[in-house]
Amino acid sequence: MECKRAHLAGYNTLLATLRMETNPQFGDIFKRLEDAKETCLASRTPDDQCFGKMQNTLQDTQQLYDQMLDDYKSKFTRIPSRPSPTPPM
In the chain, domain spans: 2-74
Question: What string of pLDDT tens digits covers the 89 residues of the chain?
Answer: 455 666 667 777 777 777 777 777 778 888 888 888 777 777 777 677 777 888 888 888 888 888 888 888 888 776 666 676 777 76
Alpha-carbon distance 49 to 76, whole Å? 41
- Confidence (pTM): 0.63
For residue 11, what are the contacts with CB-CB under 8 A and spacing of at least 6?
Answer: 33, 36, 37, 41
Q: How far apart are CA 40 and CA 5, in angstroms?
A: 12
Q: What is the pLDDT of residue 7?
A: 65
